[in-house]
């Protein structure tokens, strides 16, 4: 499994992923699932990957290779496309093609073993920052006012706190805290989601890579969250009046 | 979907289920999923059902019919079996048979559309209260010291709070409160889990049906929990120190 979240705040984007991959509980590894491209002063694009590792690595390699090729055919890359919408289209097309090739089928189904889902966030000069969820079929949804965040992978354990405490006006510091609470609940419940976590904080208008952090198992802040949150929850329940039986 | 929880406390058992059934989001109904049998002074048995409605209703009807039949063959019923272990065996056998009959196959698979999972809790005179999770295959697990509760159905949203705040020494009032918080998080996240909720609180040694309550959409306590819990979570997150970016 995997857990990835992309938040769209008024002040920018906060994207976080875990790094655990597994083929059964007896075969786990650490792989990066957060990838950032930039053209400083012009754009920043981040991709969070969830799904089959061969698929997602292939997609990332192809997208990256295209940005480095000089020939005409690949002229439109995630570093040259005219808008984030076109960036999402390019990524979706590569994702669909890779899955189709790996599965040797003409019809791509979301349930196929080579499937993957991507969160893409970024800003191209002249636009506001945008956030997309790209499906295995290559099509995508864009985050909007009502639900300005996307989750992929093991989304359920960490969702209630996100739904309740997310606020598009929150600071980057509070957003990072909220994500760590959400990831901690998920990591405690599902062995196939694990530390370290990768985070990219992109500030609206900066048009370059923002703050990138890796939260490792010995990160003292994450350790504090992990310990304190259980106690916070217990206290929050304790503070509510008990159900009256009589 | 469905959400059912059985808690084994030192002072007794607390069992709760939702009542929503659905065949697509455009076809939802309310059905009881909590069933209690008693032989006052001798035993109390509660079943929580999750899964295919035709299967679970059939299982409950057969088990109930057996308690009323007078012939020799059905002499061992959930009201006469010598222990809760035997009660669980009887229920498991009926569940497996019903699924096999409905699917017209000799091999029963958990993924089959007629599948169902049951939580069974109760006490037979001479034993401590016991709590079981019965699988579609008819076999079962028993709750023990380390994990004295079982969930079925849509378990993920409501699990983190249960894992963190459950305490086998807690009062019935606090257990009912904890379950309502857990159910509220689930109901808010999954349309196929819904009010009203049914609850049976069984006191160790009473050997008869305990307090049975139906929590309806206009229940003022549940409404208070539902409103306050979001605010409690927001405050709990706010009380933690923010992540430092510099």
Model pLDDT, residue A24: 82
B228 inside 8 A of chain A by CB:
yes
Q: Which residue of A has its CA nearest to B220?
A: A243
Average of per-residue pLDDT across A114-136: 96
Out of A98-102, A116-120, A188-192, give the one with best mean pLDDT.
A116-120
B156 inside 8 A of chain A by CB:
yes
Q: Which of A160, A164, A242 sits opposite B174 (nearest CB)?
A: A242
B162 inside 8 A of chain A by CB:
no
Model pLDDT, residue B25: 83
Q: Which residue of A has its CA nearest to B171?
A: A242
Pairing between β-strand A197-203 and β-strand B130-134 as defined by DSSP bridges: unpaired
d(CA B125, CA B82): 9
Report whether pLDDT(B104) > 90: no
Report whether pLDDT(B179) > 60: yes
For residue A210, give how far its alpha carbon lies from the nearest alpha carbon of chain B (Å). 11
**pLDDT per residue as tens digits for the range A5-19:** 999 999 999 999 999
Report whether pLDDT(A110) > 70: no
Report whether pLDDT(B199) > 70: yes
DSSP chain B: --EEEEEEETTEEEEEE--EEESSTT-EEE---EEEEEETTTEEEEEEEEE-HHHHHHHHHHHHHHHH--SGGG-S-TTT-SSHHHHHHHHHHHHHHHHHHHHT-SS--TTSTT-EEEEEEEEETTS--EEEEE-TTS-EEE-BTTB-EEEEES-STTHHHHHHH--TT--HHHHHHHHHHHHHHHHHH-TTS-S-EEEEEEETT--S--EEEEE-TT-HHHHHHHHHHHHHHHHHHHHSPPPP--
Of A117-121, B16-20, B73-77, B142-146, the least confident:
B73-77
Report whether pLDDT(B7) > 90: yes
For residue B151, give how far its alpha carbon lies from the nearest alpha carbon of chain A (Å). 14
Model pLDDT, residue B105: 56
Report whether pLDDT(A205) > 70: yes
Which chain B positions have a beta carbon within 8 Å of A163's beta carbon? 188-189
Q: Which of A4, A1, A12 is nearest to A211 (CA)?
A: A12
Q: Where residue B74 falls among pLDDT bands split at 50, 70, 90?
A: low
Pairwise CB contact (< 8 Å): A221 & B244: yes
d(CA B240, CA B19): 37
In B3-42, the residues whose Cβ lies within 8 Å of chain A are: none
Model pLDDT, residue B76: 86
Pairwise CB contact (< 8 Å): A163 & B201: no
In B65-124, the residues whose Cβ lies within 8 Å of chain A are: none
Q: Tell me how far CA of residue A209 lies from CA of A125, A129, A155, A221, A237, in angstroms.
A: 13, 13, 26, 23, 40
d(CA A49, CA A52): 9
Model pLDDT, residue B246: 79
**Do the Cβ atoms of A30 and A19 come closer than 8 Å?**
yes
Report whether pLDDT(A88) > 90: yes
Pairwise CB contact (< 8 Å): B233 & A164: yes
**pLDDT per residue as tens digits for the range A38-55:** 999 999 999 999 999 999
d(CA A105, CA A108): 7
**pLDDT per residue as tens digits for the range A148-158:** 999 999 999 99
Q: Which of A177, A234, A239 sits opposite B164 (nearest CB)?
A: A234
Q: Is A23 helix (H, G, I), strand (E, B) or coil?
A: coil
Q: What is the mean pLDDT of chain B?
A: 93
> Given phi > 0 = left and psi -120 to 50 = alpha, else beta, which region is B48?
beta
DSSP A104: T
Average of per-residue pLDDT across B76-95: 96
Model pLDDT, residue A240: 96
DSSP B60-88: HHHHHHHHH--SGGG-S-TTT-SSHHHHH
Model pLDDT, residue A107: 56
Model pLDDT, residue A173: 97
Q: Where residue B110 falls among pLDDT bands split at 50, 70, 90?
A: low
Q: What percentage of chain A exceeds 70 in pLDDT?
A: 94
Report whether pLDDT(B238) > 60: yes
Pairwise CB contact (< 8 Å): B160 & A234: no
Q: Where residue B184 falls among pLDDT bands split at 50, 70, 90?
A: very high
Average of per-residue pLDDT across A82-108: 87
Q: What is the ipTM of this complex?
A: 0.87
| Sign of the dihedral defined by the CA atoms of residues B12, B18, B19, B24, in that order | negative
B164 inside 8 A of chain A by CB:
yes
Average of per-residue pLDDT across A105-129: 83
> Best of B174, B180, B193, B237 to disrupt the A interface by mutation (most A CBs within 10 Å)?
B237
For residue B225, give how far its alpha carbon lies from the nearest alpha carbon of chain A (Å). 8
For residue B176, give how far its alpha carbon lies from the nearest alpha carbon of chain A (Å). 6
Interface size A-B, in CB pairs within 8 Å, comes to 120
B161 inside 8 A of chain A by CB:
yes
> Best of A237, A238, A246 to disrupt the B interface by mutation (most B CBs within 10 Å)?
A237
Helix (H) or strand (E) holding A199: strand A197-203
Which chain B positions have a beta carbon within 8 Å of A244's beta carbon? 173, 221
Pairwise CB contact (< 8 Å): B242 & A160: no
For the CA atoms of chain B, what is the radius of gyration? 19
Q: Which residue of A has its CA nearest to B237?
A: A178
Q: Tell me how far CA of residue A117 lies from CA of A2, A110, B112, in angstroms.
A: 11, 9, 27
Which chain B positions have a beta carbon within 8 Å of A185's beta carbon? 160
**pLDDT per residue as tens digits for the range A52-76:** 999 999 999 999 999 998 665 557 8
Q: Which of B163, B180, B242 sits opposite A171 (nearest CB)?
A: B242
Model pLDDT, residue B160: 92
Q: Which residue of A has its CA nearest to B166?
A: A234
**Do the Cβ atoms of B50 and B153 come closer than 8 Å?**
yes
**pLDDT per residue as tens digits for the range A208-219:** 999 999 999 999
Which chain B positions have a beta carbon within 8 Å of A224's beta carbon? 240-241
Model pLDDT, residue B73: 57
Report whether pLDDT(B108) > 60: no
């Amino acid at each position: 499994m995997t857990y990835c979240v992309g938040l769209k705040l008024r002040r920018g984007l906060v994207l976080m992923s875990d790094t655990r991959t597994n083929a059964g509980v007896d075969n786990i590894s650490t792989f990066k699932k957060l990838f950032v491209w930039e053209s400083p002063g012009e754009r920043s694009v981040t991709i969070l990957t969830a799904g089959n590792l061969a698929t997602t690595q292939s997609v990332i390699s192809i997208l990256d290779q295209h940005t480095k090729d000089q020939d005409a055919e690949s002229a439109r890359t995630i570093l040259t496309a005219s808008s984030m919408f076109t960036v999402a289209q390019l990524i979706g097309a590569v994702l669909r093609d890779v899955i189709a090739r790996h599965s040797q089928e003409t019809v791509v189904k979301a349930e196929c073993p080579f499937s993957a889902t991507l969160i893409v966030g970024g800003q191209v000069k002249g636009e506001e920052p945008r956030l997309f969820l790209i499906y295995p079929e290559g099509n995508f949804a864009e985050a909007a006012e009502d639900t300005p965040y996307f989750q992929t992978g093991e989304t359920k354990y960490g969702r209630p706190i996100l739904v309740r405490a997310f606020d598009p006006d929150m600071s980057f510091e509070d957003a990072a805290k909220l994500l760590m609470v959400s990831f901690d609940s998920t990591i405690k419940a599902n062995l196939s989601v694990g530390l370290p976590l990768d985070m990219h904080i992109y500030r609206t208008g900066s048009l370059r890579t923002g703050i990138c952090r890796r939260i490792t198992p010995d990160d003292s802040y994450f350790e504090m969250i992990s310990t304190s949150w259980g106690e916070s929850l217990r206290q929050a329940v304790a503070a509510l009046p008990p159900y009256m039986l009589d």
